[in-house]
């Protein structure tokens, strides 16, 4: 990922897209078709594949990562969590990622699994957990120890602070800061943020990192995480889960149209366009990137990318590939 970022022109913008593994075979077929369309039409710099906490989606995450990296030729970043996971599952995931040609891992702590889905795999893991991994930094160190520089490692950060059951009172970026410094020093190559709508919180957060006395955040890519608004209900649920604030003016605009799904999506795209355009105007160390939590959906993110001129031009080889794949012989 960072090699690709560094090879872009200095004033270029880039973006990445997140996908999660579907539960069913049919879901996989549909997603693969969608991914094929999206990768040709939108040309993300890279895609990321989520990992169910505790390894609950291990097989399916690797299956999706294989589709992205191998079948579709997309630069793929595999999310990997480390709590409630056996060391052998972590080793297997990293080994398999390497075999698949995946060079990027988003190293995360993870939460306790939230539901009973993927129960078979979860049961297999029972009794095989370990205490080696408590925080994401433990995974960053482990990957560096086992694999040297083979993997480009991303880590998570929280512009509005992080809150969980282990210390719910600490939803404060200042509380997380020393741990983020250590996590970055341990070997992170890029930082990807939790989703947010409060762009002022991101501004403050990014400035705080860039100016930090340790100097570790001076040039590291800090990629803001943005979630296209798919529906009023999904928005309320995800903001609740992620603790992202919805600024009052945005809420008012969405509240006015909340009975009409199409209008919610339209206003949602306008809101995301404004956030992207605002971030684009901020002074940037290096190329400016954006990460989109797609929820495996295509339309809203495509509109935002188009409106904000984030889709990179098609290169000659891409054009030839598209022409070849859509020639009558291949239909
Ligand atoms: P850490 O960096 O370990 O930090 C977690 C919290 O602990 C922070 O508040 C930090 O300040 C604190 N902390 C860190 N070290 C210490 C210490 N030594 N002592 C005391 N406190 C400490 N979850 C999934 O299950 N699957 C995914 O695919 C997934 N993808 C994600 C992608 C992104 C971009 C983001 C932002 C989050 C993602 N998550 C995912 C959620 C993530 O696993 C949770 O938010 C988790 O609770 C924290 O993970 P972390 O890697 O930030 O943890």
Question: 41-51 pLDDT, tens per residue?
Answer: 999 999 999 99
- Closest ligand 1 atom, CA of 51? 28
β-bridge partners, 17 = 47, 292
Mean pLDDT, rounded, of the chain: 90
What pLDDT score was predicted for residue 126?
46
CA distance 9 to 287: 8
pLDDT tens string 3-44: 999 999 999 999 999 999 999 999 999 999 999 999 999 999
Rounded distance, CA 323 to CA 331, Å? 11
The minimum-distance atom of ligand 1 relative to the CA of 154 is 34
- Lowest model confidence (mean pLDDT) among 142-151, 198-207, 234-243: 234-243
pLDDT beyond 70 at 244: yes
Token pair of 328, please? 């009558």
For residue 123, what pLDDT is reported?
Answer: 43
Mean pLDDT of 210-232: 97
Question: Distance between CA atoms of 155 and 234, rounded to whole angstroms?
Answer: 25
Q: Which residue has a Cα nearest atom 20 of ligand 1?
A: 179
Distance in Å, CA 226 to ligand 1 centroid: 17
Main-chain dihedrals φ then ψ at residue 301, nearest 5 degrees? -65, -35
**pLDDT tens column, 152-168:** 999 999 999 987 766 66
How far apart (Å, rounded) are the C-alpha atoms in residues 4 and 12? 12
Per-residue pLDDT at 127 exceeds 50: no
Alpha carbon of 109 to ligand 1 centroid (Å): 5
Atom of ligand 1 nearest to the CA of 163: 9
Instruction: Tell me the average pLDDT across 195-221.
Output: 97
For residues 22 and 30, the answer to whether their CB atoms sit within 8 Å is yes
Measured from the Cβ of residue 26, the count of other Cβ atoms closer than 10 Å reads 9
Active-site residue flag, 18 = yes
Q: What is the pTM for the complete model shown?
A: 0.92
133: CA distance to ligand 1 center in Å?
A: 12
Beta bridge partners of 107: 80, 155
Alpha-carbon gap, residue 253 to 267, rounded angstroms:
7
Which residues does a 6 A CB cutoff place in the pocket of ligand 1?
50-51, 53, 79, 81, 106, 108-111, 135-136, 156, 162, 164, 175-176, 179, 183, 192, 194, 225
Task: Give the mean model confidence (pLDDT) for residues 133-162.
Answer: 96
Token representation of residue 123 = 């049961």
């Amino acid at each position: 990922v960072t090699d690709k970022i560094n090879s872009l022109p200095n004033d270029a913008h880039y973006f990445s897209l997140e996908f999660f593994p579907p539960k069913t075979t049919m879901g996989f077929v549909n997603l693969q078709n969608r991914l094929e369309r999206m990768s040709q039409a939108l040309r993300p710099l890279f895609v990321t594949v989520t990992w169910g906490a505790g390894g609950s989606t291990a097989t399916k995450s690797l299956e999706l990562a294989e589709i992205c990296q191998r079948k579709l030729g997309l630069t793929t970043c595999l999310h990997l969590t480390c709590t409630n996971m056996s060391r052998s599952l972590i080793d297997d995931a990293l080994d398999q990622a390497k075999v698949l040609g995946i060079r990027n891992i988003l190293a995360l702590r993870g939460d306790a699994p939230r539901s009973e889905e993927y129960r078979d795999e979860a049961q297999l893991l029972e009794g095989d957990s370990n205490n080696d991994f408590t925080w994401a930094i433990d995974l960053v160190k482990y990957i560096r120890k086992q694999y040297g520089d083979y993997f480009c490692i991303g880590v998570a950060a929280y512009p509005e602070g992080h809150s969980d059951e282990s210390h719910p009172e600490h939803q404060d970026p200042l509380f997380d800061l020393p741990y983020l410094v250590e996590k970055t020093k341990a070997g992170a190559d890029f930082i990807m943020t939790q989703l947010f709508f409060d762009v002022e919180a991101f501004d403050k957060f990014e400035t705080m990192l860039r100016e930090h006395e340790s100097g570790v955040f001076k040039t590291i890519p800090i990629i803001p995480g943005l979630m296209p608004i798919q529906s009023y209900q999904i928005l309320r649920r995800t903001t609740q889960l992620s603790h992202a604030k919805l600024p009052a003016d945005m809420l008012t605009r969405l509240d006015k149209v909340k009975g009409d799904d199409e209008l919610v999506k339209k206003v949602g795209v306008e809101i995301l366009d404004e956030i992207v355009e605002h971030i684009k105007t901020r002074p940037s160390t290096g190329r400016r990137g954006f990460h989109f939590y797609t929820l495996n959906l295509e339309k809203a993110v495509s509109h935002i990318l188009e409106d904000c001129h984030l889709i990179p031009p098609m290169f000659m080889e891409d054009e030839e590939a598209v022409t070849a794949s859509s020639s009558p012989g291949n239909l």
